């Protein structure tokens, strides 16, 4: 029996199913303060009004949010949620056409799509199909997969197409899973990856109501594999959550982290005050 189980596990399809939702773009800028201060107050106000008007409609729809950044990595972060990459490009171009763009120096950006990994559903479905002798990517396989995906899309729609939370603080960082010589996440059996991800998720669930997390996938879109956005009314919870997660197996053995970016929500109506230093 143990041997049969081992063979069955080894035969399970390796790639978990994922659901994709909104397209997401993070833009980080350094503000050219010396050049800005050379302008007359009336010209500053004119530029601020134009920029606020350009961003206001998107903010009201929960689709663009501005953040005043902490530290040397930038001054202003814009986060855009859109239905497609085409719409993200339009959001970029809209900002580029404003006079404010002359005073924004791009420091970093990140492109991704909201992603929900379906490890648990994938393992259960792949096991059922394997036991029935259904060959991966056969017509029957693809039909069962699509039916499962469609049910999950409907059930998960609020999480795939959310509005940007209005929390005061944002923590954003990209991450990978290890592909090293000694440890390689992608060579583990899918059932072992599912077990570790379930353990990882239990930590996050303990912070429900304190932190809202949005995971985005960026394989093929940017330099890392995922982006993580954490939204909360106070920042210390970011440290506690991320520190606690470092102790679970999937993070301790297989996680690689990029730069961390922290911002304070900046209503676009107050953009002029922010640029005035008040």
Residues 6+ apart with CB under 8 A from 113: 20, 21, 22, 23, 24, 216, 217, 218, 221
Name the DSSP letter for residue 162: P
Question: Do β-strands 64-69 and 76-82 pair in parallel, antiparallel, or remain unpaired?
Answer: antiparallel
Residue owning tokens 């773009």: 25
Strands (E), the chain: 17-31, 64-69, 76-82, 104-118, 169-177, 212-217, 226-232, 255-257, 261-265
First to last CA, the chain: 71
Burial class (CB in 10 A: 0-12, 13-18, 19+), 234: exposed
Instruction: Single out the catalytic residue among 67, 110, 169, 173.
Output: 173
Give the integer Cα–Cα distance in Å for 81 and 87.
Answer: 9
Give the 3-state secondary structure of 164-222: CCCCCEEEEEEEEECECCCCEHHHCCHHHHHHHHHHHHHHHHCCCCCCEEEEEECCCCC
Q: Are 230 and 161 in contact (CB under 8 A)?
A: no
Residue owning tokens 């199913």: 17
110 included as an active-site residue: no
- Inter-axis angle of helices 119-131 and 2-11, to 10 degrees? 110
Residues with a catalytic annotation lie at 173
């Amino acid at each position: 029996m143990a041997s049969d189980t081992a063979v069955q596990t080894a035969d399970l399809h390796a790639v978990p199913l994922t659901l994709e939702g909104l397209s997401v773009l993070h833009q980080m800028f350094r503000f050219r303060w010396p050049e800005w201060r050379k302008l007359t107050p009336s010209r500053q106000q004119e530029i601020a009004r134009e920029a606020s008007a350009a961003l206001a409609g998107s903010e009201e729809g929960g689709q663009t949010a501005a953040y005043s950044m902490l530290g040397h990595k930038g001054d202003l972060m814009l986060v855009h949620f859109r239905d497609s990459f085409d719409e993200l490009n339009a959001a970029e171009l809209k900002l580029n056409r404003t006079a404010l763009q002359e005073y924004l120096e791009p420091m970093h950006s990140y492109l991704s799509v909201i992603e929900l990994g379906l490890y648990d559903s994938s393992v259960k479905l792949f096991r059922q199909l394997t036991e029935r002798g259904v060959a991966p990517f056969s017509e029957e396989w693809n039909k069962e997969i699509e039916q499962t995906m469609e049910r999950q899309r409907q059930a998960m729609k609020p999480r795939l197409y959310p509005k940007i939370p209005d929390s005061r603080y944002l923590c954003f960082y990209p991450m990978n899973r290890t592909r090293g010589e000694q440890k390689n996440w992608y060579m583990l059996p899918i059932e072992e990856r599912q077990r570790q991800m379930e353990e990882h998720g239990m930590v996050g669930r303990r912070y429900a109501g304190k932190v809202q997390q949005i995971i985005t996938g960026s394989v093929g879109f940017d330099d890392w594999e995922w982006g993580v956005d954490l939204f909360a009314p106070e920042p210390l919870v970011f440290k506690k959550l991320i520190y606690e997660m470092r102790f679970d197996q999937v993070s301790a053995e297989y996680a690689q982290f990029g730069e961390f970016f922290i911002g304070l929500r900046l209503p676009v109506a107050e953009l002029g005050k922010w640029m005035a230093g008040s």
